[in-house]
């Protein structure tokens, strides 16, 4: 168990730049998450029962975290185990089994059945079946064999301050009826601890597992009427940390349990001496490595098969080879085609030559043979072939492409239709088509040029404006940037909203889907008649964008926005003196600048792919936030005064006489496991000093062993003479009933 000392952290200067932040850091100190506290089979401690006599008492510190038990002559408890029992019917062996204390953590089945004797967060027994199991196990472990059909030894047991009548009554009945105890006595654990540490006048501050109690003691007698309880202890701290961690890592893959957070509170938390100052700078960059504690949960690294260099090279080579083969094949095919085309061209050319000096009839015959209508068509075919051959050659050889398109002549267009024969008319029609096509191309070219000129002009104007009126230009750019940011944000929110079925965005989407899918068109469409003119308007198609939510639904827009923002930011960077690298969105979303990153992932980069890092918990702010609740209960929503205010109240208002107050202040005594935090006593002393009159002499001390001294005190008291007349005997019980008790200086007072 390492409790790190409290450190004062100075306000870090804002000057640390991201170079320092990015510089490699030593690997983090990592703590492993703890396993369930199973201890294996433990043979019961021997010899105690044989040594004991009818006068030796069994001493039980009935604590909510651990039940500790032993004999009154022991120096420390013989057995200690958590107040838990796993009792269930095992179907495999077909009988009821029950495992007590650490044994209940033996395996997953038993862990799943664990029940606690105490009502959660209190020191009041809520489950008496479990309590019975605990007592059974205690007596069995102490090796008690029945002499007269019962435990045969007096029992001293601790109970909470101002225990409820019902609880005491039920416990008394249980001990007398079930275990046939000869006599029993109850006392308050913190008072036993105070007695063991030889206190006479003082203020007992006991912060234990389930509650924090303050009891003034005058002349070894507790002033119970001014005892005060704060409903906060180690249990609540662990529970609070569990809540915080579950909120901090909502998708944590490991299982967070209470015994783990309990251990985290014990090992990593400390009381801050100046909470407000320390918490404000806790996530500052300087020194965060030391403040941030990393808890590693078990994980299995995903196996990525690493291919060797050679293998990679071979794969690449194979790929290249395949590509080459394909290319070769394609080239071959192209060549064949080319050859075929050339042959055809040759043939047609020879045909043309043949036609040159033939009669009309012969020409007609020859043309018909090759399915040409007339000479013009042959001519065109030859031209087309020549063109495509030239193109193919260029492609293979890489010669210059024939760029300039020569405007063809359209001689026929000027001749009136009447003067043309059938073939001429056809030709004219063809030429007209050609002409309009050519003109359209020329127009497009001109338009393109114009557009280019327009953009250049715009840029020129923009530059001019910038030079003449930089302020308004910058203003405009900034506004544009903000609009873009807003749109990006909106888009992100929409995306996030679509994940939530109840959000407005998804509801609208569902409505759209239902409308699209419904056979009966909605009101709007009905009004417009049967004609569904969907798609007539370009915006209609936007409906698919709102409906699709998949991965790539709005890639286009994303690119657009991102690129646009980059452009605007680049301009701002260039011309706006007040806009620097740190202001860009990219820099702002940089993890080194992020407070939330420091909170969640500490001072090092986070790789979401790494299983190791995904299974890590970073404790930073929590290290002082959790134990601080004792001083400021409002942090955890506890509507009670803090420990200092209570102490001041107990001293100022709970004790009437001035000299009592002074004598109590002379010995403020800390006991209980929740006071073990580093810095607890210093902080309490400092704050008490501030809350009490200046002349008040404050002395503060800790129990020698804040955890075990309660049991030791009880054992010491039980063994001494003082306790002789303080036991309720079996006869008393039978005569005066189960609510009868005897008051003594270490126990509760009789309720009315």
Partner 1 sequence: MAPIPPAPQAGDDSHQQLLDQLDLTLMPRPFRNPHWKPSQRRNKNIKQIIGEASRKEASVLVTQNNSGSSTPHPQSSANATGSVTPLPGSAQVQTNITQAAQNLSTMVLERNLQASLSSGPIATYTNIESAPSLHPAHQKHYCDITGLPAPYTDPKSRLRYHNAEVFQVVRSLPQSAAEKYLEARGAHVVLK
CB of 221 to partner 1, least distance (A): 13
Between 480 and 641, name the residue whose CB sits nearer to partner 1: 641
Stretch that binds partner 1, among 197-205, 415-423, 474-482, 630-638 (CB under 8 A): 630-638
Give residues 169-188 in contact with partner 1 (rule: CB under 8 A): 170, 174, 177-180
749 lies in the binding site for partner 1 (CB under 8 A): yes
**Residue keyed to tokens 């495999």:** 92
Tokens representing 517 are 């899918």
Stretch that binds partner 1, among 131-139, 456-464, 507-515, 674-682 (CB under 8 A): 131-139
Stretch that binds partner 1, among 13-21, 136-144, 537-545, 699-707 (CB under 8 A): 136-144
CB of 318 to partner 1, least distance (A): 45
Stretch that binds partner 1, among 410-418, 424-432, 520-528, 644-652 (CB under 8 A): 644-652
x/- contact string, 454-493, with partner 1 (CB under 8 A)? ---------------------------------------x
CB of 3 to partner 1, least distance (A): 18
Which CA distances in Å does 424 have to 368, 687, 710? Answer: 19, 113, 122
* Beta-strand runs (E) in 219-268: 221-222, 228-230
Give residues 531-590 in contact with partner 1 (rule: CB under 8 A): none
Q: Which residues pair with 206 in a beta bridge?
A: 213, 671
660 lies in the binding site for partner 1 (CB under 8 A): no
CB of 521 to partner 1, least distance (A): 35
x/- contact string, 385-424, with partner 1 (CB under 8 A)? ----------------------------------------
Between 144 and 688, name the residue whose CB sits nearer to partner 1: 144
H or E element at residue 467: helix 422-468
Binds partner 1 (CB under 8 A): choice among 24, 26, 27, 149: 149
CB of 91 to partner 1, least distance (A): 13
Stretch that binds partner 1, among 61-69, 127-135, 351-359, 699-707 (CB under 8 A): 127-135
DSSP letter for each residue of 71-127 = ETT-SS-SEEEESEEEEEEETTTTEEEEEEGGGGGSSHHHHHTEEESBPTTSSSB--
CB 250 within 8 A of CB 268: no
Between 251 and 468, name the residue whose CB sits nearer to partner 1: 251
From the list 676, 660, 747, 667, the residue with the least C-alpha distance to 708 is 676
Between 378 and 672, name the residue whose CB sits nearer to partner 1: 672
Stretch that binds partner 1, among 155-163, 409-417, 473-481, 509-517 (CB under 8 A): 155-163
Which CA distances in Å does 410 have to 376, 438, 559, 637? Answer: 14, 11, 48, 92
Distance of alpha carbon 672 from alpha carbon 85, whole angstroms: 24
Q: Which residues pair with 212 in a beta bridge?
A: 207, 230
Binds partner 1 (CB under 8 A): choice among 553, 632, 678, 745: 632
Give residues 23-82 in contact with partner 1 (rule: CB under 8 A): 34-41
Residues that contact partner 1, how many (by CB under 8 A): 101
Give residues 580-599 in contact with partner 1 (rule: CB under 8 A): 594-596, 599
83 lies in the binding site for partner 1 (CB under 8 A): no
Q: Which residues pair with 118 in a beta bridge?
A: 125
Distance of alpha carbon 363 from alpha carbon 744, whole angstroms: 139
Binds partner 1 (CB under 8 A): choice among 476, 558, 645, 732: 645
Binds partner 1 (CB under 8 A): choice among 18, 113, 116, 119: 119
From the list 297, 217, 307, the residue with the least C-alpha distance to 263 is 297
x/- contact string, 266-295, with partner 1 (CB under 8 A)? ----------x--xx-xx------------
Binds partner 1 (CB under 8 A): choice among 26, 27, 550, 637: 637
Distance of alpha carbon 439 from alpha carbon 445, whole angstroms: 10
Instruction: Kindly tell me the burial class for residue 378, based on how many C-beta atoms sit within 10 Å of its own C-beta (0-12, 13-18, 19 or more).
Output: buried
Distance of alpha carbon 301 from alpha carbon 488, whole angstroms: 35
CB 87 within 8 A of CB 98: yes
CB of 193 to partner 1, least distance (A): 18
Buried b (16+ CB within 10 A) or exposed e, 327-342: eeeeeeeeeeebeebe
Distance of alpha carbon 705 from alpha carbon 271, whole angstroms: 19
Tokens representing 443 are 């127009």
Helix, strand or coil for residue 566?
A: helix
CB of 97 to partner 1, least distance (A): 5
Give residues 493-512 in contact with partner 1 (rule: CB under 8 A): 493, 496, 500
CB of 681 to partner 1, least distance (A): 20
Between 298 and 400, name the residue whose CB sits nearer to partner 1: 298
Q: Between vectors from CA 607 to CA 605 and to CA 609, what angle results, nearest 5°?
A: 175
CB of 15 to partner 1, least distance (A): 19
Give residues 325-384 in contact with partner 1 (rule: CB under 8 A): none
Q: How many beta carbons lie within 10 A of that of residue 435, not counting itself? A: 15
Binds partner 1 (CB under 8 A): choice among 25, 30, 54, 129: 129
Between 123 and 571, name the residue whose CB sits nearer to partner 1: 123
From the list 241, 252, 293, the residue with the least C-alpha distance to 614 is 252
128 lies in the binding site for partner 1 (CB under 8 A): yes
Distance of alpha carbon 207 from alpha carbon 628, whole angstroms: 13
């Amino acid at each position: 168990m390492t409790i790190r000392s409290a450190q004062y952290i100075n306000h870090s200067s804002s000057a640390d730049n991201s170079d320092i932040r990015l510089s490699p850091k030593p690997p983090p100190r990592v703590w492993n998450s703890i396993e369930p506290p199973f201890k294996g089979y433990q043979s019961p401690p021997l010899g105690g029962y044989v040594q004991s006599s009818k006068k030796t008492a069994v001493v039980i510190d009935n604590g909510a975290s651990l039940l500790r038990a032993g004999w009154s002559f022991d120096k420390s408890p013989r057995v200690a185990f958590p107040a838990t029992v796993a009792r269930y019917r095992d179907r495999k062996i077909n009988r009821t089994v029950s495992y007590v204390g650490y044994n209940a953590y033996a395996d997953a089945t038993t862990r799943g059945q664990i029940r606690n004797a105490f009502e959660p967060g209190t020191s009041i027994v809520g489950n008496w079946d479990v309590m019975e199991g605990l007592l059974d196990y205690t007596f069995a472990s102490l090796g008690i064999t029945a002499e007269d059909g019962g435990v045969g030894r007096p029992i001293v047991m601790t109970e909470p301050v101002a225990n409820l009548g019902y609880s005491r009554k039920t416990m008394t009945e249980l001990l007398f009826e079930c275990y046939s105890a000869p006599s029993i006595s109850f006392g308050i654990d913190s008072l036993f601890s105070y007695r063991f540490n030889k206190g006479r006048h003082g203020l007992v501050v006991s912060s234990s597992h389930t509650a924090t109690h303050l009891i003034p003691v005058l002349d070894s007698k507790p002033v119970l009427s001014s005892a005060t309880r704060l409903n906060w202890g180690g249990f609540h701290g662990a529970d609070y940390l569990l809540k915080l961690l579950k909120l901090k890592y909502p998708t944590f893959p490991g299982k967070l349990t209470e015994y783990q957070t309990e251990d985290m509170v014990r090992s990593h938390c400390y009381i801050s001496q100046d909470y407000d100052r320390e918490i404000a700078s806790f996530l500052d960059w300087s020194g965060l490595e030391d403040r941030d504690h990393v808890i590693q949960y078990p994980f299995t690294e995903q196996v990525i098969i690493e291919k060797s260099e050679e293998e990679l090279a071979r794969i690449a080579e194979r790929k290249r080879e395949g590509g080459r083969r394909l290319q070769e094949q394609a080239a071959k095919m192209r060549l064949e085609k080319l050859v075929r085309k050339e042959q055809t061209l040759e043939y047609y050319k020879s045909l043309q030559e043949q036609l040159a000096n033939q009669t009309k009839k012969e020409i007609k015959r020859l043309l018909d043979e090759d399915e040409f209508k007339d000479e013009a068509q042959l001519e065109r075919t030859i031209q087309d072939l020549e063109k495509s051959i030239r193109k193919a050659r260029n492609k293979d050889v890489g010669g210059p492409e024939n760029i300039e398109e020569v405007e063809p002549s359209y001689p026929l267009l000027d001749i009136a239709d009447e003067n043309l024969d059938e073939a001429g008319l056809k030709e004219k029609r063809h030429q007209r088509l050609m002409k309009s096509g050519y003109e359209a191309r020329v127009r497009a070219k001109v338009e393109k040029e114009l557009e280019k000129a327009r953009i250049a002009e715009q840029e020129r104007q923009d530059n001019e404006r910038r030079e003449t009126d930089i302020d308004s230009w910058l203003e405009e750019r900034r506004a544009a940037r903000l609009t873009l940011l807003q749109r990006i944000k909106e888009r992100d929110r929409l995306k996030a909203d679509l994940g939530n079925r109840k959000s407005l965005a998804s509801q609208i989407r569902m409505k759209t889907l239902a409308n699209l899918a419904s056979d009966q068109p909605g009101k709007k469409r009905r009004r417009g008649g049967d004609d569904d003119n969907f798609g007539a308007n370009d915006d209609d198609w936007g409906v698919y964008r709102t409906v699709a939510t998949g991965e790539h639904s709005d890639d286009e827009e994303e690119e657009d926005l991102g690129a646009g923002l980059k452009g605007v930011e680049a301009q701002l960077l260039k011309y706006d003196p007040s806009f620097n690298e740190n202001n860009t969105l990219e820099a702002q979303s940089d993890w080194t600048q992020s407070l939330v990153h420091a909170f969640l992932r500490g001072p090092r980069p986070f790789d979401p792919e790494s299983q190791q890092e995904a299974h890590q918990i970073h404790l930073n702010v929590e290290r002082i936030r959790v134990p601080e609740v004792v001083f400021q209960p409002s942090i955890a929503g506890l509507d009670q005064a803090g420990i200092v205010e209570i102490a001041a109240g107990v001293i100022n208002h709970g004790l009437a006489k001035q000299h009592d107050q002074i004598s109590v202040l002379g010995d403020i005594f800390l006991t209980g496991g929740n006071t073990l935090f580093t810095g607890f006593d210093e902080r309490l002393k400092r704050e008490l000093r501030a809350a009490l009159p200046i002349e008040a002499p404050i002395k503060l001390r800790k129990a020698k062993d804040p955890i075990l001294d309660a049991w030791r005190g009880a054992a010491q008291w039980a063994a001494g003479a003082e306790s002789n007349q303080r036991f309720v005997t079996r006869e008393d019980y039978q005569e005066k009933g189960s609510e009868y008790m005897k008051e003594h200086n270490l126990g509760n007072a009789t309720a009315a």
